[in-house]
Structure 1
Amino acid sequence: MTLKAGVAGAGVFGGYHANKYAEAADATLTAIYDPDPDRATLAAKMHDCEACTDYSDFLSKIDLLTIAAPASFHYELALRALKAGRHCLIEKPIALNVADADRLIEIAAGENLILQIGHQERYVFEAFGILSRADKPREVRSRRLNKFSGRAMDVSVVFDLMIHDLDMLGQIAGGTVESLTASEVCEHGPHADRTDAEIVFAGGLKASLAASRLEQTPTRDMTLVYDDGEIVIDFLKREITNTTGTPLALEFGAQDAPLAFRDPLAFGTQSFIRSVLTGDAPTVSGTAGRAALDLAIRIEQAAA
């Protein structure tokens, strides 16, 4: 069975997702939606598929879709898609408030639809067995620092960038938050362009997170500190270093690394298609997306 796939959003990230569907074996990229007719037409021509500016018409042509529109439109587009019986992969964040996230999760479950959230960095953790380690880190430090580009200005840097690390942190910590402090800097509008947060979880794990879209040198890394060493992941260089006494589940060089490490976006797309075909649980569920969203909201509230 070949599924008919679509992408809602003809921006840069919509193009990335369209490329992954174009490469997929069990899905055909059928349509791209964008309310801007020029953007929709240009993107559709690049992928030899149909351009749609009417969302209902777009949904009638597909079986599943990726929502790669600005975050402030995620809930509305996903709600309409799920109500139309379409499986959804929503780029992070799942929504902008917990009530909307709960509504999407409820509809997907009630209609037996796959709802997957685009926290692609998670796949690196899973591929290398970090989440399944018997020992847990006592400290986590993450930096997700970008240059200013003007994109994603409808939300803060917490929802745009830090939320990736919040998803991974939530999987590692597995406990409630005991204390949280945060600070923010706004330079290009009402939403934070840099946010720093300090979190202590039940059990003692301490996390320091920094996210920014104001830097000159892009940095995306995470350090996990254990009693016997550190695991350092460089998400930009696609490199991982382990100085602990426990080997990782996979020890690959760059040329031999699994797809989940080399191309998380492709891995996520393929996993989404497989879940639709088999009914298996998605790699990153709506509930997981909700957990990351909840922590993001708490950080924004603390910073404000």
Structure 2
Amino acid sequence: MTGSLRGGVIGAGVFGGYHARQYAEARGVTLAGVFDTHPDRAAQVAMPLGGRAFNDIESFLDAVDVVTIASPASYHADQALAAIAAGKHVYVEKPIAVSVAEAERMRTAAATRGVVLACGHQERVVFQAMGLLDAPERPLLLEALRHGPPSPRSQDVSAVLDLMIHDIDLVLAISRADPVTAEGEGALGPNGVWDQARAEVTFESGLTAILDVSRLAPARRRTMRIVYPSGEVEVDFIARTFRNTTAFALNADFADTPAGRDPLGASVRGFLAAVRGETARPVVTADEAIAALDLALAVEQALENAA
């Protein structure tokens, strides 16, 4: 697809606002509209950026070429399938869906319709900017911690699908190996879903990943420690810094790169480049998003088994 693109966003929450701004500011894109079942919310996001507010999905889809879905995760599949059926290219915030069956239907529909289906695992952009995706060694151990205080967002899914799935996608990307086992334990929050979880996942390569998430912590912490044969890399995702004792070079100035400064923008630009045929694929494909979802659901099952 060439020429100017009309961008649209489904969901007028905080992330919907971020995505609307991306389309409003992107080269060769205009923000055509924002859809939300609450018209006033859609208007608050769309109108300051020059877009229209919609509360009718068919009218919204008629007005756009590319769609970002930033609604609650439980709506992702139905909204993506509607957009794909209308011939629109789709960028879905993570998780791609809440079941593998739904996500596979989305992937099949996109392939049949010939449209791009991307997923917003934007931490992948950070690892790309650092150089970790091209590391010449495979990791032996990965320990990730992703904690934050209670928040009203993403309460329709567990902390595994909300937070841990970020680190699941990263470990799948750098391990380049299939998971073998998943064990875990957790604590249910007041809404009856897992608000705290700790999982241990083993991979065919011999890697062990220990993933710890909480939505009940007093403060935000986002860290990762990766042990390689030649040393370790410790990442602070909030400070955008890392310590490297391995034998391979990483970009210490990654936070000053365009991708490091704006991972969401880089992820959206990757999606738009794939839509225009400038790149062969978006930053995170449907296949990769489904693999992350599949492992996240295996962790949830492990939590249930241990309860």
Matched ranges for 1:24-43 at <5 A: 24-43=26-45
Which digits, 9 at most, give the CA deviation of each residue in 1:150-188, with x for residues without a partner? 211100001111111111111122223232211111122
Report the equivalent of 2:181.
179
Q: CA deviation at 1:253?
A: 6.4
Q: Give TM-score, length-normalised by structure 2.
A: 0.95
Instruction: Provide the C-alpha distance between the structure 2 equivalents of 1:276 and 1:221, rounded to a whole number of angstroms.
Output: 33
* 8 Å contact from structure 2 (residues 230, 246) kept in 1: yes
Instruction: Provide the C-alpha distance between the structure 2 equivalents of 1:239 and 1:203, rounded to a whole number of angstroms.
Output: 27
Once the two structures are overlaid, the 10-residue window that deviates more, 42-51 or 142-151, is: 42-51
Structure 1 stretches lacking a partner, 5+ long: none
State the secondary structure of the residue aligned to 2:194. coil
State the identity as a percent: 41
State the secondary structure of the residue aligned to 1:150. coil
Q: CA deviation at 1:205?
A: 0.5
Q: 1:271 to 1:176 in 2, by over 3 A?
A: closer
Instruction: Provide the C-alpha distance between the structure 2 equivalents of 1:203 and 1:42, rounded to a whole number of angstroms.
Output: 49
Report the equivalent of 1:198.
200
Which digits, 9 at most, give the CA deviation of each residue in 1:202-226, with x for residues without a partner? 1211111011110011001111111
* 8 Å contact from structure 2 (residues 73, 94) kept in 1: yes
Instruction: Provide the C-alpha distance between the structure 1 equivalents of 2:254 and 2:110, rounded to a whole number of angstroms.
Output: 39
Report the equivalent of 2:135.
133
Report the equivalent of 1:53.
55
Report the equivalent of 2:87.
85
State the secondary structure of the residue aligned to 1:15. helix
Matched ranges for 1:227-246 at <5 A: 227-246=229-248
Q: CA deviation at 1:128?
A: 2.3
Which digits, 9 at most, give the CA deviation of each residue in 1:54-110, with x for residues without a partner? 011100000001000000000000000000000000000111111111111111111
Report the equivalent of 1:276.
275
Give the letter aligned to residue 281 of structure 1. R
1:289 is the counterpart of 2:275: no
State the secondary structure of the residue aligned to 1:204. coil
Once the two structures are overlaid, the 10-residue window that deviates more, 112-121 or 270-279, is: 270-279
Give the letter aligned to residue 301 of structure 2. Q
* 8 Å contact from structure 1 (residues 139, 225) kept in 2: yes
Report the equivalent of 2:258.
259
Report the equivalent of 1:120.
122
Once the two structures are overlaid, the 10-residue window that deviates more, 40-49 or 157-166, is: 40-49
Report the equivalent of 2:71.
69
Give the letter aligned to residue 265 of structure 2. A
Instruction: Provide the C-alpha distance between the structure 2 equivalents of 1:207 and 1:7, rounded to a whole number of angstroms.
Output: 35
Instruction: Provide the C-alpha distance between the structure 2 equivalents of 1:68 and 1:82, rounded to a whole number of angstroms.
Output: 15
Which digits, 9 at most, give the CA deviation of each residue in 1:93-146, with x for residues without a partner? 111111111111111111110110000000111222212222111100111111
Matched ranges for 1:158-173 at <5 A: 158-173=160-175
Report the equivalent of 1:6.
8
* 8 Å contact from structure 2 (residues 137, 229) kept in 1: no
Which digits, 9 at most, give the CA deviation of each residue in 1:14-72, with x for residues without a partner? 01111111110121111000001111121122222100000111000000010000000
Report the equivalent of 1:303.
303
Report the equivalent of 2:24.
22
Instruction: Provide the C-alpha distance between the structure 1 equivalents of 2:254 and 2:209, rounded to a whole number of angstroms.
Output: 29
1:145 is the counterpart of 2:144: no
* 8 Å contact from structure 2 (residues 80, 92) kept in 1: yes
Q: Give TM-score, length-normalised by structure 1.
A: 0.96
Match of 2:101 among 99, 115, 125: 99
- Name the count of aligned residue pairs: 301
Q: 1:77 to 1:242 in 2, by over 3 A?
A: same
Once the two structures are overlaid, the 10-residue window that deviates more, 175-184 or 26-35, is: 175-184
* 8 Å contact from structure 1 (residues 195, 212) kept in 2: yes
State the secondary structure of the residue aligned to 1:25. coil
Instruction: Provide the C-alpha distance between the structure 1 equivalents of 2:254 and 2:277, rounded to a whole number of angstroms.
Output: 32
* 8 Å contact from structure 1 (residues 8, 66) kept in 2: yes
Instruction: Provide the C-alpha distance between the structure 2 equivalents of 1:84 and 1:262, rounded to a whole number of angstroms.
Output: 34
